[in-house]
Amino acid sequence: MKVLDVGCGVGGPAREIARFADIHVTGININDYQIQRATLAAERAGMSEQLKFVKGDFMVSDRIYISHSRT
């Protein structure tokens, strides 16, 4: 299963969801600093394969499509 976390902040809920349900989560946020923090926290937790954080503004997008590959 894949989950999109819109407005993910620093990724706390995304990490918990991924850990609890063993799923892949992609977080989208407009703040560069928060994306960096979320990515670092995922790496430190050993969850880089399950979590991906990207910069984007969901308020101006007609369609959000983010691929989360299992490579």
What pLDDT sits at residue 59? 78
For residue range 31-48, what is the model confidence (pLDDT) as tens digits?
999 999 999 999 999 999
Distances (CA, A) of 69 to 31, 32, 47, 51, 60: 23, 22, 14, 10, 25
Q: What pTM does this model have?
A: 0.82
Distances (CA, A) of 22 to 16, 39, 51, 69: 10, 18, 11, 15
| Neighbour count for residue 69 (Cβ, 10 Å) | 6
Domain ranges of the chain: 2-50
pLDDT above 80 for 7: yes
CA 71, CA 58: separation in Å to the nearest integer?
26
| Neighbour count for residue 47 (Cβ, 10 Å) | 17
